[in-house]
Amino acid sequence: MKDLKSALLLVLFLTLLLGGIYPAVVTVAANLLFPHQAEGSLVADGYGRVVGSKLIGQPFSEAKYFWPRPSATAAFAYNPLLSAGSNLGPTHPELIRQVKERITRFRDTGVTGEIPADLVFASASGLDPHISPEAAWLQVPRIAKARGLSVEKVHRFVVTTTQGPQAGTLGAPRVNVLALNMALDRDTVLP
C-alpha cells in the first residue's frame, strides 16, 4: 500500500518535472539561443512571404527548377503532415515499376548515361530537402535551356549552393534544392 502511494506520487511529480518543467526550460533556452532553428528554420521570399522551411523539401516539377528526390508521402508528394517512406522492399514489383518510370522521365529530358541513385529512389521521410551534387549536375542542361541561361552560369549556382561535409568530416556533400531554386529565381530573369 505504501509502495502504491509512492508510485502514484512519483508519477505525478516526475510528470511535472519531465513533462512540464524540462520541456519548458528547453523551449525558453532554445528560443533565446537559437530562435531561428527552434521555430523551424523558415525561409521567406523577396516579399517577406513565408515559403517553407530550409529543412523541409518541396515538390518541383517544372523544367526551369531543379527537381528534388521522389517522395512517397500519402495524398501528394512532399506532404509535410504525413512524413513517410515508400516501405517498398527491394523485390516489390511496384518499386521496379516506379524506378523505371523515374528513369524514363529523366531520359525524356535528354539525359544520357548513368542516373544517380538518389534521383530514382524515394527518401525515408518523403521530405528530404537535399540531392547529391551529381544529381544537380545532371539537371543543369535542362534548367539552362528552360531559363535561357548558359550552362556555366547555372553550374555556378550549383557550386555556390553545394554544402560540403559538416566540419569537413561528417556526412556527404549535398545540395539544398529549395535554396538552389530560390537563388535561381532571385538572380535570374525568365525569358
- Among residues 22 and 150, whose Cβ is nearest to another protein? 22
Nearer to another protein, 120 or 149 (CB): 120
| Near another protein by CB under 8 A: residue from 46, 48, 90, 110 | 90
Residues 114 to 173 in contact with another protein, rule: CB under 8 A: 114-118, 120-132, 134, 165-167, 169-172
Q: Considering beta carbons, is residue 60 or 141 the nearer one to another protein?
A: 60
Binding mask 20-59 for another protein (x = CB under 8 A): x-xx-xxx-xxx-xx--xxxxxx--x---xxxxxxxxxxx
Q: Of 166 and 191, which CB lies nearer to another protein in the complex structure?
A: 166
| Residue indicated by cell numbers 502514484 | 8
Q: Which stretch binds another protein (CB under 8 A): 110-118, 139-147, 149-157?
A: 110-118
Name the phi and psi angles at 163, rounded to 5.
Answer: -100, 130
Binding residue for another protein (CB under 8 A) from 46, 48, 63, 89?
89
| Binding-site member from 46, 110, 113, 191 for another protein (CB under 8 A) | 113
> How distant is the alpha carbon of residue 159 from its chain centre?
18
* CB 130, CB 166: distance < 8 Å: no
The span from the CA of 19 to the CA of 137, in Å, is 47
Q: Which three cell numbers stand for residue 54?
A: 530550409
The residues near 130 (Cβ < 8 Å, ≥ 6 apart) are 57, 69, 174, 175, 176, 177
Number of residues that bind another protein (CB under 8 A): 104
Nearer CB in complex with another protein: 141/162: 162
Residues 54-83 that bind another protein (CB under 8 A): 54-62, 65, 69, 76, 78-83
CB of 60 to another protein, least distance (A): 5
Are the beta carbons of 51 and 43 closer than 8 angstroms? yes
Residue in the block written with cell 531520359: 107
Cβ closest to another protein, residue 40 vs residue 148: 40
Are 180 and 68 spatial neighbours (Cβ–Cβ below 8 Å)? no
Query: What is the secondary structure of 135-146 as a DSSP string?
Result: HHHHHHHHHHHH
Distance CA 18, CA 22 (A): 5
